[in-house]
Amino acid sequence: MKRYSAFAIAREAFRQHSGWDRAWANPEPKKKYDVIIVGAGGHGLATAYYLGRNFGITNVAILEKGWLGGGNTGRNTTIIRSNYLQDPSAALYEKARSLYETLSQDLNYNVMFSPRGVIMLAQTHHEVRGYQRTAHANALQGVKTEWIGPQRVKELCPIMNIDGPRYPVLGGLWQSRGGTARHDAVAWGYARACSDMGMHVIQQCEVTGVRRDGDKLVGVDTNKGAIDCDKMGIVVAGHSGHLAEMAGFRLPLESVALQALVSEPIKPCMDVVVMANTVHGYLSQSDKGEMVIGGGTDGFNNYTQRGSFHHVEETVRALIETFPMLSRLKMLRQWGGIVDVTGDRSPILSKTPVDGVFINCGWGTGGFKAIPGSGWAMAELMAKGESPLTDEFSMHRFREGQFIDESVAAGVAH
Amino acid sequence: MLILNCPYCGVDADETELAPGGEAHIKRFGPGSSDDDFEEYLFMRENPKGVHFERWRHANGCGKWFHAARCTVTLEVFGTYPAQTFEPPAELSAAISAKRPGWTWRTFS
C-alpha cells in the first residue's frame, strides 16, 4: 500500500493523479478463512483491523451484504463522546474516544476527527441532577467531563437561546474532547488498512445461512457460495436478530428506525456539538456547513430505512425554541437507519451458545462513537476468548439481571 | 405514517393519535418463575423481519388498547383486533398466510 501523505499529493499532482492505488482490493471469496466477520460497517471493519493489528490474525474475510459502510456507519450524526454513567460503558466508550484521537495516524487515512467538544444540555432540574451525577462518575472513571453553568453554555454556543420560556438552559455536561469524525472515512480507512494486511473485504456477499456441526460452527452459506471458517463475528446492527436466527439462538433485541436530517449549508455558526435530550434533538454543524440534526426513534419495530415525517416535525419543533435561528433554514435531506436496541440500552459483545460464533450488537442509537473501542474489544474477545472490556456486556446478563442500565443515565435519544 | 383502524371505536387513527405498546401476545411470568422464563418474558423479543404482532393504545382517542398485525419491512398493516385474546383471529392469520407464506411466531397463548 502506498502511504497517503502531503508528499504523495505533490508527486501525483505532477502526473495527473495516475499513480493512486485502489484503497482496498475487491477479491472473490476463498473456500476457508480463520475468521469471518459478517458486516462491513465500522464495527465489523474495526474488529477485523484489530484482529490483525493486535493479534496477527489476518486470514480474515469481512462479508457485506450491501456496500461498505452503507448501513448505520453512513447514516449517523457522527457524534463522539464517552460521558456515560456506568463504569463498563465509560471504559468502553472512553477507549473508543481515545483511539479516535490518533486514528487518522494509525490508519494513514484522514478520518477528520474533530474534538470540538460536546455539551449535553440540562433543561430540567431532573437533568441538572442527572448530569452532575454523571460528571462525578466520570471524574472517578478518569473521563474528562465537567458540569458547566448556563452562561458558559452560551459562551460555547452563542446561537443558543438559554432563556426559553418552556425549557430554559440550566447548564450542561461538557466533554471538551468529544466531537465528531467523518463517518464514511472511518469505514474507508479501516477497510483500506484491513485490505493492506491481506484481509478480504467482500461486498455484495450476503450470508444466507450458518452451518454448524452440533454446537460448533463450520462455516457460512452466502450468495457467493459456501465459505468455511473457524470463528465468526456477527456485527450487523439492526439485522442481528436475523443472523442469530440463522445461527440458531435468540437475542434480546428490537430493531427500530432512527432518523436524522441536515439543513442547507450555511456559514459557520456553531463549533460544538449540542445534545438537547429533553427536547429530543441533537445538533452539530458539518464541515460543509449543514446543520446535522438527529431525532428520535420510531416507536414501533421496523426495518425500513426511512423514518417518518412527524418525528422530523417533533425534533425540529422542539429544537427551534432553543436554537431560534434554525427556523429559517430549509431541510436538505432526511434519512433513517435500523438500530438494534436492548433492554438496558447497552450493547452486547459476547460469546454465543454456538461455539465459534461471537456477537457484537445492540449499540442502539449510539454506535458510531464506539467503533474503535468496540472493534478493539471484540477482536480481543474473538482472539483470546475474553476481554476485560467486554466482560460485563455478555448476552446472558439479561438472564442474570446484571444490567448496565444506561437507558436513562446516558440521556440519549432512545 | 401508519394508519391503524381502532377495533373499538372504528376510527382510522394516524400514528400520532396512537401510542405504541411493543410486542403483543407476550406470556407473563410471576413470582417463583425460573430465570429463563423471566428473561423470555422481560427481554426476549421476536423482532421478526416480516410479520409482527404488536400492541397499540388509541391514546388520543377512545383510550383502548388493541393489537395490530403489521409487516416490519413494508409497513403493510394486515389488520387490527381487540386485545382480549391470546392469539390473532383465525381469519387474520389466514389472510397473513396468503400474503406472507411461511411467517413464524413463537407459540401463541
Nearest to A266 by CA among A283, A241, A242, A244: A283
Q: Please, which pLDDT band fits residue A411 given cuts at 50, 70 and 90?
A: very low
Q: Which residue has the cell 434519512?
A: A335
Per-residue pLDDT for B69 more than 90? Answer: yes
Residue A63 reports pLDDT greater than 50: yes
> Residue A248 pLDDT > 60, yes or no?
yes
- Smallest CA–CA separation between A352 and chain B, in Å? 15
Q: What is the pLDDT of residues B95-104, one digit of tens each?
A: 999 999 999 9
Q: How far is CA A358 from the centre of its chain?
A: 18
Decide if B73 and A303 are in contact by the 8 Å CB cutoff. yes
Query: Domain residue spans in chain B?
Result: 3-99
Tell me how far apart the alpha carbons of residues A122 and A411 are, in angstroms, rounded to a whole number. Answer: 10
Q: Which domains, ranges and CATH numbers included, belong to chain A?
A: 25-82+84-109+183-251+344-400 (3.50.50.60), 118-179+255-342 (3.30.9.10)
What does the pLDDT read at residue A66? 94
Contact A253 B45 (CB under 8 A): yes
Q: Mind spelling out the 3-state secondary structure of A337-385?
A: EEEEEECCCCCEEEECCCECEEEEECCCCCCHHHHHHHHHHHHHHHHHC
Check if the interface score ipTM surpasses 0.95: no
Neighbours of B100 (CB within 10 A): 16
CB contacts, 8 Å: A342 with chain B: 43
Q: Is A394 exposed, middle or buried (0-12, 13-18, 19+ CB in 10 A)?
A: middle
The Cα A216–Cα A95 span in angstroms is: 32
Please report the residues numbered 383 through 412 in chain A whose beta carbons come closer than 8 angstroms to any beta carbon of chain B.
398-400
Query: For residue B106, what pLDDT band results from cuts at 50, 70 and 90?
Result: confident
Lowest mean pLDDT among A66-75, A312-321, A349-358, B91-100: A312-321
- Mean pLDDT for the stretch of residues A309-315: 87
Name the minimum distance, in Å, from the CA of A414 to any CA of chain B: 14
Is B54 within 8 Å of A300 when comparing Cβ atoms?
Answer: yes
Q: Which of B16, B20, B48 sits opposite A300 (nearest CB)?
A: B20
Identify which has the larger pLDDT, B107 or B76.
Answer: B76
C-alpha grid cell for residue A86? 456506568
Q: At what angle do helices A371-384 and A42-55 cross, to 10 degrees?
A: 50
**Coil, helix or strand for A413?**
coil
pLDDT in tens, A88-116: 999 999 999 999 999 999 999 999 999 99
How many Å apart are CA A273 and CA B107, to the nearest integer? 47
Cβ of B45 within 8 Å of Cβ of A399? The answer is no
Among candidate residues A207, A194, A236, the one with its CA nearest the CA of residue A337: A236
pLDDT one-digit tens code per residue, A175-229? 999 999 999 999 999 999 999 999 999 999 999 999 999 999 999 999 999 999 9
**pLDDT (0 to 100) of residue A408:** 56
**Is B3 near chain A, with CB under 8 Å?**
no
pLDDT at A410 over 80: no
Report the Cα A83 to chain-centroid distance in Å: 15
Average pLDDT, chain B: 94
Q: Which of residues 222-261 of A touch B (CB under 8 A)?
A: 239, 241-242, 250-255
pLDDT at A374: 97
How sure is the predictor about A33, in pLDDT bands with cuts at 50, 70 and 90?
Answer: very high
Global pTM value: 0.94
Give, in order, the Cα–Cα distances in Å from B105 to each of A209, B25, B54. 20, 10, 12
For residue A414, the model assigns a pLDDT of: 39
Q: What is the pLDDT of residue B109?
A: 62
A405 exposure class (CB count in 10 Å sphere: 0-12, 13-18, 19+): middle
Question: Given a cut of 50, is residue A126 above it in pLDDT?
Answer: yes
HSE, side-chain direction, 13 A CA sphere, residue B42: 17
Mean pLDDT of A154-180: 94
**Residue whose C-alpha cell reads 448505520 in the numeric block:** A72
Which CATH class for the B3-99 domain? alpha beta
pLDDT of residue A413 exceeding 50, the answer is: no
